[in-house]
Chains A and B, each alone.
Chain A
Amino acid sequence: MAFIEVNDVGKRYGDKLSVDHLNLRIEEGEIFGLLGPNGAGKSTTINMIVGLLKLDQGEILVDGISVKDRPLEVKKKIGLVPQDLALYEMMSAADNITFFGKLYGLRGRELKERVTEALRFVGLEDRAKEAPRTFSGGMKRRLNIACAIMHHPKLIIMDEPTVGIDPQSRNHILESVRELNRMGSTIIYTSHYMEEVSAICDRVAIMDQGHVIACGTQEELRDLVAGEEKIVMTAMGIGEAVLAELKLHPRINSLHQHDNVLELYTASSQSDLQDILYICAQHDVVIHSVVCERPTLETLFLNLTGRTLRD
């Protein structure tokens, strides 16, 4: 049995179907990524796993416990890092963590130790007595995480935890996620930043319009778009003749031109690049740069939906 089982779950808001016949299996100890554009159903899925939203259909089990039947039991096992900062700005960083710790049943010395540990983990131990209203955006994000992890949850759900922060804080958070995973927590990480999901997740589910359109390890997902390597060429003198000849090439699947930039999708950039450069030379195209890109999750999403993740 998987640590989290989402079985045929559906959720509707009025006439709008937010999640439709969703099925997921997340194993214990995984960093599982939920990737999709805004409105794909990621947050709805998370809210249903945490028990914040009632399911219209289906069932969710966390560590074998039904969310529907025993929501408070499930909540004890979960630490939720919300997308929006959920902090009491008037109270100190330590007060914020202590308050949530008490709600998870921590008391006395254990509580104090966990608060110190959580503050140290997110690098805020020297700001413990300061109120979050004096913090930078990145520090608030880290405190947001500290409030969710101090009770050592078996499952940590991070809903777009890096929105609107500087690269340094982002790296700190991503490293924290890996560390939490090493410490034994299963992590569900949602984002519409493909790079973040690629960097930390063992397995990824790509969602769109309430459905999981692809799910697997990153390698498995890339295999889905094998033969979709991208060559980006910057050149002068790209005319109709050269475009027509390139289109006739049997292994070039598609090409797009924007001013001096030419994007070509081929089965294999290594074997086809020489042909492409030869055709360009034949038509006196002056090439400034050539970049070969392996397929990414972005490519996969584009391939499956015809849209980019940030659309």
Chain B
Amino acid sequence: MKMWHIIWFELRMLIRMRVVLLNQFLLPMVLILILGNALSGMISLGDDAPIDTVTAMIVESPGQEALTSVGWNEFLKTPEISELLKVQHGDHREEAISSLKSGDSDFAVVIPTDFADKVMKGESVKWEMIYGKDHSKNHVAEMIFESYLDEVNRVQASTMVLGPNTLNSAPQNVPTSYVEMASLNKEGNAYSAFQYYAASMLIMFLLYSGLTASSSLQSEKRNKTLYRLNSTPISTLKIFLGKIGGNSLVACIQAVVIILGTTWLYGVNWGRHPIYLILLCALVIMAAMLMAVVITLLSKSSESAQTIFQVIIVGMTFLSGGFQRIPVDIIEKLGEFTINHWALQGMIRIILDASTGEILHHVLILGLFNVILLLVGTVSYRKVGYHE
């Protein structure tokens, strides 16, 4: 009961502090807004990127048209291809290059003069492809022509093995079977920048509540109120746990404010697993408080405790990709040793409605972090204690 009075008093005191309200409630909301807007281009929302039509110039030697037109014209006329590819015809290679330079064409294909001979002989064939200025258009055109050529080569291979009668029938199968429009995004959900940064900032600022706890524990010593508290009929451990409890309660309110605030103000969807979300938040808060215990007890001064805390939180957020995902192998590996990584990945899986097993995996590892911190915290308390 007396511990509850300390928790309640601590809560009231913290809520009256302007710096706590600004740093733990307002700042995360502002940062989520800024990062969610500013970095929305870095994270796909799951919409398919539009593919522009490519104007391709085909340079054919005279007399080859008949051969290449076998299946080729049908291939070009299929709805999927005609939507993507607009064909121009050129007479020679220089014309194609000039067209690419002027921007009249996006891509060019030069069919070699011996193309027909090689086809007739059943040999492998190649076209010269000349890239234009637009990387994605080059990619689209290259894929279309390569797919056609692959089919031609397949027919050639069949001809060599099965005989010349296969030649006439094969290309007729080409047009529709080799082009299929699909969306990778239909395979799974994606998260928005707001969702990503809401989760990442929630975790970072819940960890910062540990910094507030550390500061509060130190201020009792600095203001000599701990001396008076210790003279009252309540054990030091209860005083200590009461202080931690008060700060944990503020962190819980902070989590609720950020989750509900981002939902209502920024339209963040936190997924359909609120229990797991609460569990993850509770584990992050617990980790923050245990870090506060360890750092406060083992630091020589309040200033050094604050500095250590800041470095650890910012470092863990950076390594876990909390500010921006950094696709560097060593950083990603190091990130796996942070609380933020497992909490963030867990929350993203909650947002993406991943399977329970996948979410629990992250919850369990976060729990493991807490067990280790609890052991270190207990040893630190027993060794150092909480007194003035």
Contact = CB atoms under 8 A, between A and B. Distances in A.
A90 B229 contact: no
B17 A90 contact: yes
> In this complex, which of B9, B232, B234, B387 has the most chain A Cβ atoms within 10 angstroms of its Cβ?
B232
B12 A82 contact: no
B231 A52 contact: yes
A47 to B, nearest CB: 9
B227 A104 contact: no
Contacts, number: 64
Interface of A: 50-52, 72-73, 75-76, 78, 80, 82, 84-91, 95, 99-100, 102-105, 147-148
B13 A91 contact: yes
B230 A103 contact: no
A87 B219 CA distance: 11
Contacts of B227: 52, 82, 84, 86
Interface string B217-234: 000000111011111111
Interface residues of B, number: 21
B233 A76 contact: yes
Given A84-B224, A86-B224, A87-B225, A50 B233 contact: no
B366 to A, nearest CB: 34
A35 to B, nearest CB: 22
B16 interface: yes
Contact of A105 (B16, B225, B233): B233
A102 B233 CA distance: 10
A247 to B, nearest CB: 51
Given A86-B223, A90-B13, A91-B12, A100 B234 contact: no
A103 B233 contact: yes
Contacts of B223: 86-89
Nearest to A74: B233
B362 to A, nearest CB: 38
Nearest to A91: B13
A261 B130 CA distance: 113
Given A80-B231, A99-B5, A88 B13 contact: yes
Contacts of A84: 224, 227
B235 interface: yes
> In this complex, which of B230, B231, B387 has the most chain A Cβ atoms within 10 angstroms of its Cβ?
B231
26 contacts: A50-B231, A51-B231, A52-B231, A72-B233, A72-B235, A75-B232, A76-B233, A78-B231, A80-B228, A82-B224, A82-B231, A86-B225, A86-B227, A89-B223, A91-B13, A91-B16, A99-B5, A99-B9, A102-B2, A103-B229, A103-B232, A103-B234, A104-B233, A105-B2, A147-B228, A148-B228
Given A72-B235, A75-B233, A103-B2, A86 B12 contact: no
B175 to A, nearest CB: 78
Interface in B1-48: 2, 5-6, 9, 12-13, 16-17
B5 A103 contact: yes
B223 to A, nearest CB: 7
> In this complex, which of A78, A80, A86, A147 has the most chain B Cβ atoms within 10 angstroms of its Cβ?
A86
B10 to A, nearest CB: 10
Contacts of A88: 9, 13, 223, 225
Nearest 6 pairs of A and B residues by beta carbon: A86-B228, A80-B231, A84-B224, A75-B233, A103-B232, A102-B5
Nearest to A73: B233
